[in-house]
Amino acid sequence: MEKFELDILGCGSATPTTLHNPSSQVLNVREKLFMIDCGEGTQLQFRRSKLRFGRLNYIFISHLHGDHCFGLIGLISTLALLGRTGDLTIFSVAGLEDVLRTEIDFFCRDNPFRVKVETFDPKRSEVIYDDRSVSVKTIPLLHRVPCGGFLFQEKQKEAHLLPEMIKFYNVPIRELARIKQGADYITEDGVLIANNRLTKPAEPARSYAYCSDTAYNENIIPIIEGVDLLYHEATFADVDAMRAKQTGHSTAVQAAQIAKMAHVKKLMLGHFSARYVDNQILLDEASKIFPNTILANEGLREKL
């Protein structure tokens, strides 16, 4: 099975700690790397995770709080030092390009590659990226500033041919493409050979949803319904639910409620407040509602 795996580079919230880095992660889809948020220190975490800078072509920024984008200019500078020449595309809410362009013009005036910023509307759910392997759709989130999450949906692969059956029925090469796409085969004698005798189904397409930063928001449930993995912020424990509401964040309990209602397969908690020395309290609270819950942590590589 081809790669569809998530590397956590940072899962802390705004206040720096020695326990967690600011928000950033990388999704590897069939050896294409997609970065989601880029907090301070992301490039160091990227190297520690032994990811390849040359495979990173797309970055998705959820919103313009520093703990989600302060690492961009450092990463861009490093990519230039490494000799990058290909375009780097950043998807973001409005406002990033004005700030980033000033930084690039000052610190990276001889940048050998083009940085393109594509703006999305955080109030709408729409496809902002699409290729042969995956599509990316935005998820409107509730925060103190415009903010959007991201749904990564792998494209369903064609069925696998059964070589022994293809040979047995003497299927011509010209028919193979149609059969892989689901067509039956009719022999020269007019006998219909059902597609399921010639193929076996491909592995199910996988999906991943990133929802940070956000207050409790049931409106996202239809968008993330049934995803294989949901990363949902859990900045606060239930005792601090009022603080979560005031700051536009979620508790671990609320994240678990969303996961349960959306029938996701697995929940990963992240964006932890610096006030908690041990995030086990968040895991314990969420697991009571949604048992298949795990904690994000720097260096974690989750295979879907």
Tens-place pLDDT, residues 59-73: 999 999 999 999 999
Virtual torsion, Cα 145, 146, 147, 153, nearest 10 deg: 180
Contact yes or no for 14/66 (Cβ under 8 A): yes
Tens-place pLDDT, residues 114-173: 999 999 999 999 999 999 999 999 999 999 999 999 999 999 999 999 999 999 999 999
Tens-place pLDDT, residues 215-268: 999 999 999 999 999 999 999 999 999 999 999 999 999 999 999 999 999 999
Virtual torsion, Cα 88, 92, 97, 103, nearest 10 deg: -70
The verdict on whether 228 is a catalytic residue reads: no
Which amino acid type is present at position 221?
I
DSSP per-residue letters across 172-226: -GGGHHHHHTT--EE-TT--EE-GGGTEEPPPPP-EEEEE-S----GGGHHHHTT
Backbone angles phi, psi at 151, to 5 degrees: -110, 115
The predicted structure's pLDDT at residue 1: 79
Residue tagged active-site, from 67, 121, 189, 228:
67
Contact yes or no for 187/165 (Cβ under 8 A): no
Determine the Cα–Cα distance for residues 69 and 145; give it in Å rounded to an integer: 14
Q: What is the mean pLDDT of residues 32-57?
A: 97
Which amino acid type is present at position 113?
F
Q: For the structural domain made of 4-157+203-303, what CATH number should be given?
A: 3.60.15.10
- Break the chain into its structural domains and give their ranges: 4-157+203-303, 160-200
